Chains A and B, each alone.
Chain A
């Protein structure tokens, strides 16, 4: 029996927020270098947030660019309540939602339902992945689009079922079904992962300062 540690980094949220506030103040004064710092700090996260919904690379980068350009254009009139990262995150998700609505991806509930079992090709692709994380990530990206979008809005963007239903124009019951389906498919995708995977009892965040950045270990007990 051995302990296998998988690295997982949560950011130190509140220190970052303080710096963001200072950067925002500088940005309001038209400080370009502040904009650059903000860009370098937030672009990856915004691209990732959009990327969970739009797997296409160009789309996700485009949305991130638009949000940051918009921030720059509005810099003098900025009035941000709460954290900058939350503000930007909300902005990119709003744009993503508008895009979904514009492309009418979700309108017809009577559309042919998306598969709730993994098609052969996807199953193989997932099984090829060796590491647990890789397998999980491949599976998430391979989820049927509607299903993945709903799951992402709930799990990552923390929208309530009601909010998701309103935004996408579908019923709360459908939302719940989609999330259930996502969990079922993810569970299937990970089921035959070898070695036998006994899930960690809880996510243990062990703060061990390497340099100045705290990071966390997820302990998996592998027999």
Chain B
């Protein structure tokens, strides 16, 4: 498959930042796999992209001189530290605001909806699907997910409902008309204060992971709504909402299906394989348990399965044999690198 340079460069760039449509991603994959030359070009461009990270223009003056300049501007020494009473007051106000937000949530659920028209359902059956909303927001449904949304939003807020599965939201900013994601669990909602995040809903639990911006998450059983920002993740089991677990993620591998970026930093190999299994939707079974805790450090962008396996083979000396079930590989042999 031949593509002019301008085209394949554009596709590779889009894939690297995760702004590639599903159709383009297919085209890119076809082009990449069409010949080893294309594969090499792709890797060359990705290497340039990665290597660019090291470009750090120097200030050109010493940091001490810069600090002296700062002192001059800031007119230090500064006045004596104030007592933090003003901050405490502000914190009290915020707590009150959060309580009002929760109350509003409950009322909203109880009161009949106002003005939203007929709801339609978008479903991602055997591939990821993208839904574009009239306000400019984009929603990516992972394979197997389903979302219902109105043809026209109500005046007071933009509401959609995630029926099942994982969905990644990029919300157009519109403070006067907040964006709200509901799940099928009554009273559970994610209110968007910022831009991109993922919600996933299954029978067992609800998960929210924020990529950029801020969301406010509320659910029945929680005493107050919580605000989540970049890197925050909260998992709420359906049966035991009190056991909700809030963590900070070390990477956004859970969003790899959408963003393409997979990163491991000293991750135990077993865990890395679990992430890759989820991404490729196949089983990657580690034969030798001694390798389970081997540290794995890797960064890939929209990898094909072949490339990911090659990387693992190269680093650990593994061999991959297809499993009987035909839905995965057994990775055997190998050793932890020194």
Task: Decide if A and B are genuine partners.
Answer: yes
A residues near B, CB below 8 A?
Answer: 8, 14, 28-32, 35-36, 39-40, 43-44, 47-48, 51-52, 55, 57, 60-61, 64-65, 68-69, 72-73, 76-77, 79, 81-82, 86, 132-133, 136-137, 140-141, 154-156, 158, 160-161, 176-177, 179-180, 183-184, 186-187, 190, 199-207, 216, 218
Instruction: Say yes or no for B133: interface residue by CB 8 A criterion.
Output: no
Contact between chains at B74 and A43 (CB < 8 Å): no
Task: From the candidates B47, B70, B266, name the one contacting A68 in the complex (CB within 8 A).
Answer: B70
Report Cα–Cα, A43/B62, bound state, in Å. 11
Q: List A contacts of B69 (CB < 8 A).
A: 65
Query: How far in angstroms is the closest Cβ of chain A from B176?
Result: 18
Report Cα–Cα, A216/B297, bound state, in Å. 9
With contacts A14-B248, A47-B66, A200-B47 known, what are 15 further pairs, Cβ within 8 A? A35-B74, A36-B67, A43-B63, A48-B57, A51-B59, A65-B70, A77-B86, A81-B214, A81-B227, A161-B17, A177-B10, A201-B43, A201-B314, A202-B300, A203-B299
Instruction: Say yes or no for B204: interface residue by CB 8 A criterion.
Output: no
A-B pairs with lowest CB-CB distance, top 5: A51-B57, A30-B81, A199-B47, A205-B297, A47-B59
Instruction: Say yes or no for B78: interface residue by CB 8 A criterion.
Output: yes
Query: How far in angstroms is the closest Cβ of chain A from B90?
Result: 7
Contact between chains at A61 and B78 (CB < 8 Å): no
Residue-wise, chain B 284-317 has the 8 Å CB interface mask toward A (1 for contact) of 0000000000010111100000010011001100
Instruction: Say yes or no for B321: interface residue by CB 8 A criterion.
Output: no
Given A36-B67, A47-B57, A155-B52 in contact, is the A207-B297 Cβ separation under 8 Å?
A: yes
Q: List B contacts of A176 (CB < 8 A).
A: 10, 13-14
Q: List A contacts of B46 (CB < 8 A).
A: 199
Instruction: Say yes or no for B82: interface residue by CB 8 A criterion.
Output: yes
Most chain B beta carbons < 10 A, residue from A52, A133, A136, A204: A204
Instruction: Say yes or no for B6: interface residue by CB 8 A criterion.
Output: yes
Closest to B265 in A: A205
Report Cα–Cα, A32/B300, bound state, in Å. 42
19 contacts between A and B (CB under 8 A): A29-B82, A29-B84, A30-B79, A36-B67, A48-B57, A51-B59, A52-B57, A60-B59, A64-B59, A69-B74, A136-B48, A176-B14, A177-B10, A180-B10, A190-B48, A205-B266, A205-B297, A207-B295, A207-B297
Closest to B90 in A: A79
Report B3-61 residues with CB < 8 Å from chain A CB.
5-6, 9-10, 12-14, 17, 19, 40, 43-61
Q: List B contacts of A57 (CB < 8 A).
A: 59-61
Instruction: Say yes or no for B198: interface residue by CB 8 A criterion.
Output: no
Contact between chains at B13 and A179 (CB < 8 Å): yes
Contact between chains at B56 and A187 (CB < 8 Å): no
Closest to A62 in B: B69
Q: List B contacts of A40 (CB < 8 A).
A: 63, 67
Mostly helix, strand, loop or mixed at chain A's interface? helix
Contact between chains at B55 and A137 (CB < 8 Å): yes
Report Cα–Cα, A72/B76, bound state, in Å. 10
Instruction: Say yes or no for B186: interface residue by CB 8 A criterion.
Output: no
Q: List B contacts of A216 (CB < 8 A).
A: 297
Q: List A contacts of B80 (CB < 8 A).
A: 30
Report B58-110 residues with CB < 8 Å from chain A CB.
58-61, 63, 66-67, 69-70, 73-74, 76-82, 84, 86-87, 90
Q: List B contacts of A76 (CB < 8 A).
A: 82, 86-87
Contact between chains at A43 and B84 (CB < 8 Å): no
Contact between chains at B13 and A183 (CB < 8 Å): yes
Report Cα–Cα, A30/B43, bound state, in Å. 50
